[in-house]
Amino acid sequence: MKVVKSLWMCLALGAMLLTGAGARAELVTFVTTGEFASSSTNTYSVGDVVITFNGSTGNTVVVPPASAATFGTFDTTGTTAPDFETVSDTFTLHIFQSTPTIGEVQFVGDLLGQIKVTNSQAYVQFNAPLSKSLGNIIYSIVSQDNGTLGRVNLSPPTVNSGLSSIAGQVGVVPEPSTMVLAALGVPVLLLVAYRNRKK
């Protein structure tokens, strides 16, 4: 019984060490925009294919813990192609943060595949790294269409009103003091567990 009680105390101490110093809440405010290299705007257009990126505005989250977010939406409703047309371009996602610090991170991806009004094999594949930090805030692209991390499949105009979102996550980098406390706490926990086993 004494061993079980000591084990629970060790687990509680470990939890406090791991969460104590890094639990400070951060208010994060950001907006997103995007542009295609061929037009230097948020619209890609070739033949009867039109793909527009609509950024995400007025975003506010409090972290930790990490929060799900949508970094914007691709809209293919301008596409009228009756037959498949090939798409190829470079897309850049910009995330502008206004709090807790002012700055920007960018994610670059490739627009590939083919699309027509009733079918789509088109997608945007974002390139690694898929997580970038701005101060102590981490932005990550978590879209994983077709089982490929960083891939966003584009719906044809006849599916989901032609809308496809970039799934993201906003988190916070653990403070150095948290890492130090956790590193110091592990040997203590191991020592207590060893002594309890010996008894």
Residue 187 confidence (pLDDT) above 60 = no
Q: Residue 93 falls within a domain, yes or no?
A: yes
pLDDT number for residue 3:
45
Q: Residue 197 falls within a domain, yes or no?
A: no
pLDDT number for residue 40:
98
How does residue 23 score in pLDDT terms, banded at 50, 70 and 90? Answer: low
- Eight-class DSSP state of 41: B
Q: Residue 195 falls within a domain, yes or no?
A: no
Q: Residue 21 falls within a domain, yes or no?
A: no
Q: Residue 193 falls within a domain, yes or no?
A: no
Residue 170 confidence (pLDDT) above 70 = yes
Task: From residue 14, give the alpha-carbon distance in Å to each of 55, 66, 159.
Answer: 42, 21, 49
For 1-5, 25-29, 90-94, 168-172, which range has the lowest pLDDT when averaged over its residues?
1-5
pTM above 0.85, yes or no: no
pLDDT number for residue 164:
98
pLDDT number for residue 195:
61
Task: Say how far apart CA 6 and CA 13 lie, in whole Å.
Answer: 10
Residues spanned by the domain of 78: 29-174
Residue 197 confidence (pLDDT) above 80 = no
Q: Residue 44 falls within a domain, yes or no?
A: yes
Q: How far is CA 3 from the centre of its chain?
A: 43
Give the residue-averaged pLDDT of 112-135: 98
Task: Say how far apart CA 107 and CA 120 lie, in whole Å.
Answer: 23
Other CB atoms within 10 Å distance of the CB of residue 52: 19
pLDDT number for residue 4:
43
Number of domains in the chain: 1
Q: Residue 179 falls within a domain, yes or no?
A: no
pLDDT number for residue 199:
57
Q: Which is higher by pLDDT, 53 or 3?
A: 53
Q: Residue 185 falls within a domain, yes or no?
A: no
CB 41 within 8 A of CB 53: no
Give the residue-averaged pLDDT of 138-151: 98
